[in-house]
Structure 1
Amino acid sequence: MLVGLALVTCGISGGMLWVLGINYDGITGSAAQKVHPATYLAVLVFVWTMLRSGNPVAPVVDAAERRPASVLLCLVGFGLLAFIALRNGTGLAGALDTYVLSGLVVILLADRDALTMRHLEIVFHAVMLANAVLGLVEFASGQRFFPFRMDGQAFDTDTRSAALQGHPLANATLTACYVLALLGGGGSLRPAVRAGIVVLQLVALITFGGRSATVVTLAFGGVFAVVALNRALRTGRVPLLGAALAAFMLTLVPIVVSGLAVGGFFDALLARFVSDGGSANARVEMLTIFDAIPLRDLLVGPDPTIVDTLRRMYGLEWGIENPVVRSLLYNGVVMTALLAVALTLFLYEVARQCRRGVGLPILAFVVLINTFESIGGKTTLLAKFALMLLVLYPRRTLSGAPASSGPARR
């Protein structure tokens, strides 16, 4: 069931659900269709865990003791759900998919055995491999198989690859964090396989068109590579075969990059840097909305209909491209502060359950989610990221069993 949960969470997007006849990303349709299947499955697995324990209360108490921040994130997510419902707002499913699902994923993966974590790691690698290959196929063919849709309407002007993740920016963010996690030693792949996957993911990252993700990956990855190279040279133990292979590959890099540039591979990404379709202007205009909202309303949450009207007046029909600003405008200062505290504690808790090396992907994730709406709306990105860290950086004891963060239970 956990393997199925990982596969559904990481491999099914809103665009794929539309192909299956489910209007997940749209406004029309039944309310049940707006919740991601992974959330339903996570709740089902947790309920099953409660039932099979013999004492339904025990798993809840155990989760509160072992994963308190994840439980807090679930509670804040349910609080956000009630808050939106009481104000007759929209986006109820976002509270469940964005926050409750993420907390449940971490709770369900607490102290799992090595074999289960290995199976989950294989699933994650397989999904990311299929995602990269599909992105390259979409780029080469010009056809997007599962694009992001709003009530069935795809954005024909957006030619970026969508692959399995649907939204190009969410795809680029997850891919960038995955690359940095592999560079930082995440996973149990052999060096040659790891290098091949990193190269493939970097090439696919270009097709997803995420400017910030590309810059962050190259900048953070470049710094990490320099530090790692310096450490290797200082130890005095550099394999001659590895050094020769690295020198050979470095001579091929400018040739390959030049060939791809001549073939037009980078044209779409460069066009995004030259003309972003008003994205940068939208990030400026979204701040002007605060001038039209009284401070008293901003503290407890302005009227959602007023915010929607102001958004359209300022030409922000496609959304507010920052999760903090969006949450402040729709949920108010108090709820946004609760979400920020819960999310910070959640990421800290996830990092504590992992072995060393998670700092780089976490830093990249925090930077990148602030470049678009991301966790400010409905997304499974946070759950995917948490699952990625837990399966690529499992903390082990000397015996190979998962490290326990609490007292042993009968």
Structure 2
Amino acid sequence: MASGWSGTASNFGAAAPRAGTSVDVVTQFGLIAAVLVLFSVSGGMLWLLGYNYDGLSGSAATKIHPSTYLIILLFAWRSCTFGNPVGYLVHVADRRPATALMIVIAVVLLVVVIVRQRPGMAGMIDTFVASGLLVLLLGEDDEWTFARLRTVIHAVMTVNALLALVEFATKTLVFPYRFDGEVFATDLRSSALQGHPLSNATMTSIYVLALLSGSRSLPAPLRLAMIGLQCAALVAFGGRSAMVVTILLGGCYVLFHGFRKLRTGRVNLLGAALAMMLAALLPVAIAVLASQGFFDALLGRFVSDGGSANARVEMFEIFNYLELRDVIVGPSIDLVESLRRINGLEWGIENPFIRMTVYQGAFFTLLMMSSFGLFMHEVARRCHPGVWLPVVGWLILLNTSESISSKTTLLTKVAVLCLALYRPARSVIRPVKAVRPFAETQNRSISF
């Protein structure tokens, strides 16, 4: 199949370049700028610039994140500099077929949403199209770009965590989450650079897991300090599910990795001494922070969740009011909104599969989620084996909110984080040797 696509690319007048070929300067710096905007510009920040991203009112153009516009422009630019736009499309589809499939299905569903006048147009673009196009652009394996992307991710996530702790200590939100300009005055959870506290918590949890099993280029003491900082920020964001996932998955990974190190018989004495010292100081630090009320807000959310846990049970009651046809193709929007109010789901349907099924129907949900699964598998295959840890964390956390069934940049962030922090070493990426044609080998004599 790959050879067929490559041949098609040649027919369009553009030879498919090999991985690692030079990428033009505009694309390199454009990718860095797009990722910087993606990770550091929230809806609250955009509101201060007169850009109503998180609300319903205002221009339709403002419902798309600026990073998505940058990615689309970069993709158009790269297809032109390739020499033949059609040949470039065939080339990138050949290298990332699952990603190309997800983009095609998302565009088809976008057209269906527009024709049927249903909500979710911006979600198809920001959630699936943007993430797919960025992965296609990163598929050219430019080492210089990936090195800078790692620096950008580490820098932005560090600043994000520090800002979250400052907001937590001062009870003042710099860029609070807004809906049509309205701030939720009773919600004092940190919003930092990435907007909604739960989006922050999800991304921080995945980043902590990535620091544990990836980011091999960072010194161990620096990684340990960064993990501590991000865990402290996780408390400020108040994400219960994110905290539980981080503790369980991260704790299991550390124990398994530690026992495996002990079994090999090769233990760094300095590292072992540092680990023992931290293990002794950690309970003391937790006790001191608890006495100062650092965990009060997070514990309060475990005690009183505002009906969030009950909403995850009540959302299944919606299907009792729907006919089979409505489940397959999606009921009317008026009926969905009425059922949400009846079942106490004013804040949303906190599961992406259930929400997309209710709004778009089971048929399109099956197509979109299947392509999403293939996309994540393709991204993971291009990464270091340790990528399974943040991917598992991501797959768990996305089921605790609307996540990818609505407008979000989380999928794009997760894909970039995995590809950048889990990039295999150059020595591991070896070119595949060409197979000698059968006719050529048939004419050679066989000696014993």
TM-score where L is the length of structure 1: 0.96
Who is 1:181 aligned against? Answer: 210
Q: What's the CA shift string for 1:240-297, capped at 9, x where partnerless?
A: 2222221111111111000000000000000000000111111122111111111111
The one of 172, 177, 189 aligned to 1:160: 189
Who is 1:267 aligned against? Answer: 296
Who is 1:170 aligned against? Answer: 199
What percent identity do the matched residue pairs reach?
52
* Rounded Cα–Cα distance in structure 2 between residues aligned with 1:171 and 1:404: 39
Who is 1:128 aligned against? Answer: 157
Q: What's the CA shift string for 1:140-194, capped at 9, x where partnerless?
A: 0101122221101121222211111111111111111111111113352111111
Q: How far is 1:115 from its partner?
A: 1.7
Q: What's the CA shift string for 1:65-92, capped at 9, x where partnerless?
A: 0011111111121122112111111221
Who is 1:35 aligned against? Answer: 64
* SS of corresponding position for 1:60: helix
The one of 255, 266, 279 aligned to 1:226: 255
* Rounded Cα–Cα distance in structure 2 between residues aligned with 1:156 and 1:392: 37
Aligned residues: 405
Q: How far is 1:396 from its partner?
A: 3.2
Instruction: Determine if the alignment matches structure 1 residue 24 to structure 2 residue 53.
Output: yes
* Rounded Cα–Cα distance in structure 2 between residues aligned with 1:332 and 1:9: 30
Who is 2:180 aligned against? Answer: 151
Who is 1:294 aligned against? Answer: 323
Do the aligned partners of 1:183 and 1:221 also contact (CA within 8 Å) in 2?
yes
The one of 159, 165, 170 aligned to 1:141: 170
* Rounded Cα–Cα distance in structure 1 between residues aligned with 2:409 and 2:191: 15
State the AA in 2 paired with 1:395. P
Who is 1:318 aligned against? Answer: 347
Do the aligned partners of 2:205 and 2:246 also contact (CA within 8 Å) in 1?
yes
Q: How far is 1:59 from its partner?
A: 1.3
Select the structure of larger CA radius of gyration.
2
After the TM superposition, which of the residue ranges 128-137 and 183-192 deviates more from structure 2?
Answer: 183-192
Instruction: Determine if the alignment matches structure 1 residue 217 to structure 2 residue 246.
Output: yes
Superposed CA RMSD in Å reads 1.5
* Rounded Cα–Cα distance in structure 1 between residues aligned with 2:96 and 2:110: 21
Q: How far is 1:338 from its partner?
A: 0.4
Who is 1:347 aligned against? Answer: 376
Who is 1:250 aligned against? Answer: 279
Q: How far is 1:403 from its partner?
A: 6.0
Greater relative CO (CA pairs within 8 A, separation 6+): 1
Do the aligned partners of 1:369 and 1:375 also contact (CA within 8 Å) in 2?
yes
Who is 2:439 aligned against? Answer: none
* SS of corresponding position for 1:370: helix
Do the aligned partners of 1:66 and 1:406 also contact (CA within 8 Å) in 2?
no
Q: How far is 1:111 from its partner?
A: 3.0
State the AA in 2 paired with 1:118. A
Who is 1:83 aligned against? Answer: 112
The one of 111, 121, 130 aligned to 1:101: 130
Q: 1:328 to 1:259 in 2, by over 3 A?
A: same
State the AA in 2 paired with 1:383. T
Instruction: Determine if the alignment matches structure 1 residue 66 to structure 2 residue 95.
Output: yes
Who is 1:13 aligned against? Answer: 42
- Pairwise mapping of residues 258-407 of structure 1 onto structure 2 (< 5 A)? 258-398=287-427
Do the aligned partners of 1:301 and 1:331 also contact (CA within 8 Å) in 2?
yes
Q: What's the CA shift string for 1:31-77, capped at 9, x where partnerless?
A: 00001111111110000001111111121001110011111111121
* Rounded Cα–Cα distance in structure 1 between residues aligned with 2:112 and 2:187: 34
* Rounded Cα–Cα distance in structure 1 between residues aligned with 2:166 and 2:113: 40
Q: 1:350 to 1:179 in 2, by over 3 A?
A: same
* SS of corresponding position for 2:156: helix
* Rounded Cα–Cα distance in structure 2 between residues aligned with 1:312 and 1:82: 28
* Rounded Cα–Cα distance in structure 1 between residues aligned with 2:433 and 2:135: 15
Q: How far is 1:395 from its partner?
A: 2.4
Who is 2:10 aligned against? Answer: none
Q: How far is 1:202 from its partner?
A: 0.7
Q: 1:295 to 1:404 in 2, by over 3 A?
A: farther
* SS of corresponding position for 1:5: helix
Q: How far is 1:8 from its partner?
A: 1.1
Q: How far is 1:313 from its partner?
A: 2.3
* SS of corresponding position for 1:285: helix
Q: 1:405 to 1:59 in 2, by over 3 A?
A: farther
Who is 1:203 aligned against? Answer: 232
Do the aligned partners of 1:131 and 1:163 also contact (CA within 8 Å) in 2?
yes
Q: How far is 1:315 from its partner?
A: 2.2
Q: 1:218 to 1:365 in 2, by over 3 A?
A: same
Q: How far is 1:305 from its partner?
A: 2.1
Do the aligned partners of 2:214 and 2:387 also contact (CA within 8 Å) in 1?
no
* Rounded Cα–Cα distance in structure 1 between residues aligned with 2:162 and 2:308: 28
After the TM superposition, which of the residue ranges 26-35 and 151-160 deviates more from structure 2?
Answer: 151-160
Unaligned runs of 5+ residues in structure 1 are none
Who is 1:115 aligned against? Answer: 144
Do the aligned partners of 1:121 and 1:187 also contact (CA within 8 Å) in 2?
no
